[in-house]
Chain A
Amino acid sequence: MEIKHLQLHWEDLPKAENVVFQPVEKNYLKIIYAEWLIFYATILIAAIAIFYFVKDIQTPVIIMSVAIVFVLLVSLTFFLANKAFAFKAYAIREKDVMSRSGWLFQKLQVIPIDKIQHCVVRTGPLEKKFDLASLKLFTAGQQSDITLSGLKAEQAEQLKEWIVSKQRNDG
């Protein structure tokens, strides 16, 4: 019987940093903007209501200060969202799925396909409008699931099917 006794060299290992990442769909940025707009619109309405009912804070200084902070916060959020969107990407390798996210604080997550328990395609009302979907990959771990957002709906379905068939074929 021949016993294999291979040696592993770092140079021979497939490297995660050499992978070419696929950016998410451009329309996904509109969804991110829309979600933040809804969030800030709610806060704005609540703030206007507070200013309307509480007479003590109806001074120009307080109103101006709150308005400036609000505008700065909104601008910062959109700036960060834009930057994070540009960095957001994913990659599919033969045996794993990679997701890249963040901007200042960057994160690269990798899930081996063998470890995926099941996957779910999700489409929200906004995503439906732009024909987009998210693919959530669940593992057996409680904190190790990843979501690939901003995929074309058809692409998300195909990817899901591919993962399922890959798992079936690899046993």
Chain B
Amino acid sequence: MVSETDWSKPQRQSRVVILIAILKMFKNMWPVIVLLLARFIFNKGTTTDKNLSHLLWGLSGAIILYFFIRLNDIARFFFYRFCITDQQLVIYSGAIVKKKTELPLSKIQAIHTQQTFLHRITNTCRLVIDTAGSEKAEMEIEALDIEVAKQFQQVLTTREIVYNEQQVNKTDDYIQPEQLMQLTAKDILKLCISENHLKTFLIIIGFLVGKMQDISEYLGFDSFGWMQQHSQAVNTTTQTVVFVFILGLLFSIILSCIKVVLRFYGFTIQLGQKHFVMKWGLLETRQKQIPFKKIQLLSWRSTFVRRLMRMYILRLHATAEDENKEDQMIQLPVTNLSQLKKITGYYQQVLPSQHFPFLTIQKQYIARGILLVGLPITLAFITGLYFAIGWYTLLTLLWLFYFIISTYLYRKNYKVWLSNEAIQIEKGVWGRENILVNFRNLQQVSIKTSPYKRKHQLADIELSTTGININIPFLRKEEAAFIIDFTLANIEFRREISQSVLREDYKVEK
């Protein structure tokens, strides 16, 4: 049992951070060392003593330089301290230049923990604190004893809630999160089956080609030539090609299953006082915490197979989250519709799709798509490929056919629902993606038209949140105007209409 820590006094990280820094150094350096040594061994016949001497000096120089860069991580342990005052998290850092960072508790957006294998055996974890004002993590504690980290997390969560609610006397009221959802072995199996194995297969091929290029570059060994030479030696028949393809696909299936298990093993969602707590991972355990009010919008998607299985990947888009960084995204596998409704209910009590009729995009969307994207690309490919494969180039028309079908389906599946609090969009060709945004989270709305759209009385609308912009194309002009007016009325007169209901026949008269 760890004694209560006095957070008003500056605290240090765990000593394990020194070990982590050293291991990180070796982890990052070993591929360079192996490649340089391999190059030396492979080119032994042509390498002179002078070359060897240059190589060794270069290698030693690189290692020493890297060691000094990494020394900063070790120095960080001795000079990095943090404490919690009444309303702020204070961080002291820097060996030569002293730095003091004061972070208001109200700005803390989420507190996450991560555990690599090394953290686990040393009973420590990495703590990451995100704030609304910055895209990157504001504060990272590389290693903290697990019990101390839990205390720290509890204190921060309680104080942050208290600060926001202005209930100064309730600092000790930390409520243990209750379990909301847990993935069973059957759920993980379903996730494995429904994973996009073809995508994994293509990634593996891309990875192998990349590595072969690296080998050719670093070792001076012609790996592509070697492969061509050996493939000629084997009697290539249709059966062998099919066999190799199936073998590759099987390997991809196994690999994507391993990926799913490593990622989603032990996945749980817990419900805190005013936040979700998510835990997952087999080798590297992660825990993320996100307050409800920091969720900007929700989206959930399912591939064709997952749609049949009624499985979804739900994403919670948080304030100032970087849309391009997958490790910052909060994605939860949800294995049935009732679970989905339960979780989304904390953001938006009733889904607009449950009670209201939908609007859809107009058929001109298909014609414009074919004219501006499908046809030019097809014509370019037909012309380009004609010189290489002759009249077989007409097979490109199959792609145009697929494009037309998918554009038609996309338009058919596109639905927009409005309730008196939120807007929901569903779209997709074979799979489906849903976006749900509460009006309170919108920052700006805009309406866009082009000469073609004006001629056909159409318009696009764009709804901007703090993170992403949601574009709804090819709406009828009156419908677009209605959505804009309705959205603005909801944002601007929320107090006045907070207890009102939307008339069900809101759809604009045709």
> Which residues on A are within 8 Å of B, measured CB to CB?
3-10, 13-17, 95-96, 104-112, 114-115, 139-144, 146
Interface contact A109-B499, CB-CB below 8 Å: no
Please count the residue pairs between chain A and chain B whose beta carbons lie under 8 angstroms apart in the complex.
105
Interface stretch, picked from B65-73, B281-289, B375-383, B482-490, is B482-490
A6 to B502, CA, bound (A): 9
Contact of A141 among B420, B444, B486 (CB under 8 A): B444
In the assembled complex, B266 has its CB within 8 A of some CB on chain A: no
Contact of A7 among B489, B492, B500 (CB under 8 A): B500
A144 to B443, CA, bound (A): 7
In the assembled complex, B340 has its CB within 8 A of some CB on chain A: no
> Which residues on B are within 8 Å of A, measured CB to CB?
132, 319, 420, 442-451, 454, 464-467, 469, 481-482, 484-486, 488-489, 491-493, 497, 499-503, 506, 508
CB nearest neighbor in B for A111: B444
CB nearest neighbor in A for B494: A114
A15-B481, A114-B492 known; A142 and B467 CB under 8 Å? yes
Interface contact A104-B500, CB-CB below 8 Å: no
Interface contact A6-B444, CB-CB below 8 Å: no
A9 to B486, CA, bound (A): 10
In addition to A3-B499, A104-B450, A114-B492, 13 A-B residue pairs with Cβ atoms within 8 Å of each other are A6-B499, A7-B500, A8-B497, A8-B501, A9-B503, A10-B506, A104-B451, A106-B448, A139-B464, A141-B443, A141-B466, A142-B467, A146-B444
Interface contact A7-B501, CB-CB below 8 Å: yes
Chain A residues within 8 Å of B484, by CB:
16, 110
Interface contact B489-A14, CB-CB below 8 Å: yes
A112-B492, A115-B491, A140-B319 known; A14 and B485 CB under 8 Å? yes
A91 to B454, CA, bound (A): 22
Interface contact B449-A139, CB-CB below 8 Å: no
Q: Which of B445, B482, B493 has the most CB of A within 10 A?
A: B445
Interface contact B485-A10, CB-CB below 8 Å: yes
**B481 to A: closest C-beta gap in Å:** 6
Interface contact B448-A110, CB-CB below 8 Å: no
CB nearest neighbor in A for B322: A142
Interface contact B443-A15, CB-CB below 8 Å: no
CB nearest neighbor in A for B461: A108
Interface contact A144-B492, CB-CB below 8 Å: no
A106 to B453, CA, bound (A): 10
Chain B residues within 8 Å of A144, by CB:
443-444, 464, 469
A5 to B485, CA, bound (A): 20
A7-B500, A141-B444 known; A106 and B492 CB under 8 Å? no
**A108 to B: closest C-beta gap in Å:** 5
Chain A residues within 8 Å of B449, by CB:
105-106
**B424 to A: closest C-beta gap in Å:** 18
Interface contact B466-A140, CB-CB below 8 Å: yes
A45 to B215, CA, bound (A): 48
Chain A residues within 8 Å of B497, by CB:
6, 8
7 closest A-B pairs (Cβ-Cβ)? A6-B500, A144-B464, A144-B444, A141-B443, A95-B492, A139-B443, A109-B446
**A110 to B: closest C-beta gap in Å:** 5
Interface contact B491-A112, CB-CB below 8 Å: yes
Chain B residues within 8 Å of A13, by CB:
482, 485-486, 489
A105 to B229, CA, bound (A): 57
A4 to B495, CA, bound (A): 12
A146 to B446, CA, bound (A): 11
A2 to B420, CA, bound (A): 20
A6-B500, A106-B448, A140-B466 known; A115 and B443 CB under 8 Å? yes
A111 to B132, CA, bound (A): 20
Interface contact B464-A5, CB-CB below 8 Å: no
**A85 to B: closest C-beta gap in Å:** 18
**B480 to A: closest C-beta gap in Å:** 10
Interface contact B444-A109, CB-CB below 8 Å: yes
Chain A residues within 8 Å of B454, by CB:
106
Can you report 9 residue pairs joining A to B where beta carbons are below 8 Å apart?
A8-B486, A8-B501, A13-B485, A15-B481, A105-B449, A107-B446, A110-B445, A111-B444, A114-B492
Contact of B503 among A3, A8, A143 (CB under 8 A): A8
Chain A residues within 8 Å of B488, by CB:
14, 16, 95-96, 110, 112
Contact of A110 among B444, B465, B500 (CB under 8 A): B444
Chain A residues within 8 Å of B443, by CB:
111, 115, 139-141, 144
Interface contact B499-A107, CB-CB below 8 Å: no
CB nearest neighbor in A for B450: A105
CB nearest neighbor in B for A6: B500
